[in-house]
Amino acid sequence: MNAMNAMNAINAMNVMNAIKPYILALDQGTTSSRAILFDRERRMVGCARKALPPIYPQAGWVEQDAQAIYDSQREALGRVLRDTGVSAREVAAIGIANQRETAVVWDKATGRPIHNAIVWQCRRTAPQCEQMKADGCEGYVRENTGLLIDAYFSATKLKWLLDHIPGARDRARRGELLFGTVDTWLIWRLTGGRVHATDYTNASRTMLFNIRTLDWDDNILYELDIPRCMLPQVYPSSHLFGTAEVDGCPIPIAAAAGDQQAALFGQACFEKGEVKNTYGTGCFMLMHLGREFRLSRHGLITTLAAGAGDRPDYVMEGSVFMGGAVIQWLRDELGLIEKAADSELFAARVPDSGGVVVVPAFTGLGAPYWDMYARGSLFGLTRGTGRDHIVRAALESIAYQCRDLLDALTADAGLEIAALKVDGGASANGFLMQFQADMLDRPVLRPRMTETTALGAALLAGLAVGIWPGPEELRRGWEAEQRFVPSMPEDRRRVLLSQWHRAVDRSRDWLRAEPPSPPAPSRPGIPV
């Protein structure tokens, strides 16, 4: 009877929320927190943004103030409602999309973080990753999490916090500390500390979650000495996580998904072989694999897709660490442009880069290289090199990196990709998108709604509260705004790619790590 009553209550709430006109997406990213309001026709009604500056304690380390993450997101939420004149009572649900691998640990009783959040870009745990490899953990981790051992993921960030904050591990064992990725942190705060939960997509990015069994992996937890009790419950992305009170009105939190899986959903990539690329701070190319679990042979990772079912589909992903961040570098560090949009104008002033190649390995190289010790490089300078050449070369570097990803995806999947769907801030750059099409030798499709990360979160939330019946209706709503068709001759494309790969080779292993310690004695944790 209790189960039946609960189901009736959920159905009643779904009916009630289905008639409310708006869905609120919280898009918590690396450089900003945004709140975007959508109507039932999937149109963007309003958007509010609050900048979120990174913290760089030392070279290669990247942090954020966890309290500022929540405060900025809450501020953006309130502002979008004020700016649009929409009442909280008109919002059917909240969906969350978030930066994924960033790690937060906080006090369960007080809600205070014990340290700054360690951001996905941070490389401080590279030596720990090398030690795990030396200890023979790589094969097990890859076979069960779908990931490579790398400082990019949350596991070693969490271990670092437990190792370096006095008393943290003992407190975690006593159940006094909680861990989460950013979605978990936001859900916990928005629900007043009542819900400690995440979704499959974010769990799959921690390097602690077994994507075969859909549970936290006890062997890896043992290896890293991480107490299971500090980990969140894991649910489907489209799920009623809890309730947030906004202006005195309860609103269901009905979706949570890692930003890239949310974008894949927002791009209506629901079928095997469909591919999207998001040009945000980094670039993230994802291919839908359906129910097939497949490991990459070319430096990619296998992860979980966002959806409403209890059994998620699989996704293959390649990550570029420096995508739109390259444009920020041109603006903020070099001062070559005043605003991001200037990059397109300056790049178009010259017919080519003049032989200049930028390798933006500022925090190492992601897929398919996975070189933690590569560093940024600028090649091919001459006395005639000017600002326009460097700006153009920087934009071109984004497209080159994405070409490397697509080559790896097609090789692993054995599928030909007809076109690439794109989204994210840098997808608005017409020069970059045309150059991307030229490098891929495939059409690039930019949708009418480019805020696909936030849209994906909104769509997942709408499914949970009954606004839309299923994915097929959502697919019919996807529409291309512009199609970029390749026009570069093959011989020219081959020359440029050859230059790029030579430059990458020279940038790799720039910072050599100390050799790892000898392997530890075999333990019953991870099978060796």
Q: Provide DSSP, 208-237.
A: -EETTTTEE-HHHHHHHT--GGGSPEEE-S
Q: What is the pLDDT of residue 330?
A: 93
- Domain range list for the chain: 20-258
CA angle 340/205/117 to nearest 5° reads 65
DSSP single-letter state for residue 521: P
Q: What is the pLDDT of residue 15?
A: 52
Q: What is the pLDDT of residue 473?
A: 79
User: How far is 306 from 93, CA to CA, in rounded Å?
Assistant: 17
CB atoms within 10 A of CB 215: 12
Q: What is the pLDDT of residue 450?
A: 82
* SS3 per-residue string spanning 477-516: CCCEEEEECCCCCHHHHHHHHHHHHHHHHHHCCCCCCCCC
User: How far is 31 from 399, CA to CA, in rounded Å?
Assistant: 21
- Kindly tell me the sign of the dihedral angle through the C-alpha atoms of 51, 57, 58, 60: negative
User: How far is 200 from 211, CA to CA, in rounded Å?
Assistant: 8
Provide the token pair at 357: 């190649």
Q: What is the pLDDT of residue 282?
A: 84
Q: What type of residue sits at position 136?
A: G
Give, for all 528 residues of the chain, the pLDDT tens digit.
444 454 444 555 555 555 789 999 999 998 899 999 999 989 999 999 999 989 999 988 999 999 999 999 999 999 999 999 999 999 999 999 999 999 999 999 999 999 999 999 898 999 999 999 999 999 999 999 999 998 989 999 999 999 999 999 999 999 999 999 999 999 999 999 999 999 999 999 999 999 999 999 999 999 999 999 999 999 999 999 999 999 999 999 999 999 999 999 999 998 888 999 999 888 999 999 988 898 988 889 999 999 888 889 999 999 888 998 999 999 999 999 999 989 999 999 999 999 999 999 998 888 888 887 899 999 999 999 999 999 999 999 999 999 999 999 988 888 888 899 999 889 999 999 999 999 999 999 999 888 899 999 999 999 999 998 877 778 887 888 899 999 999 999 999 999 999 999 999 988 875 555 555 444 445 554
Closest CA to 393 of 309, 508, 503, 517: 503
- Kindly tell me the sign of the dihedral angle through the C-alpha atoms of 448, 449, 451, 452: negative
* Tokens 């490098």 found at: 439
| Concatenated DSSP letters of 397-414 | HHHHHHHHHHHHHHHHHT
CATH code for the domain defined by 20-258: 3.30.420.40
CA 38 to chain centre: 21
User: How far is 285 from 409, CA to CA, in rounded Å?
Assistant: 9
* Tokens 């200890």 found at: 135
Residues 6+ apart with CB under 8 A from 192: 245
User: How far is 301 from 320, CA to CA, in rounded Å?
Assistant: 12
Q: What type of residue sits at position 94?
A: I
Reduce the DSSP state of residue 369 to 3 states and report it: coil
Q: What is the pLDDT of residue 470?
A: 79
User: How far is 177 from 193, CA to CA, in rounded Å?
Assistant: 12
- Residue 355: Cβ-neighbour burial (10 angstroms; 0-12, 13-18, 19+): middle
H or E segment and range at residue 24: strand 22-28
CA 387 to chain centre: 31
* Tokens 């790896």 found at: 408
Closest CA to 261 of 226, 241, 298, 289: 289
Q: What is the pLDDT of residue 518?
A: 55
Interaxial angle between packed helices 490-507 and 387-413, expressed in degrees from 0 to 180 and rounded to the nearest 10: 100
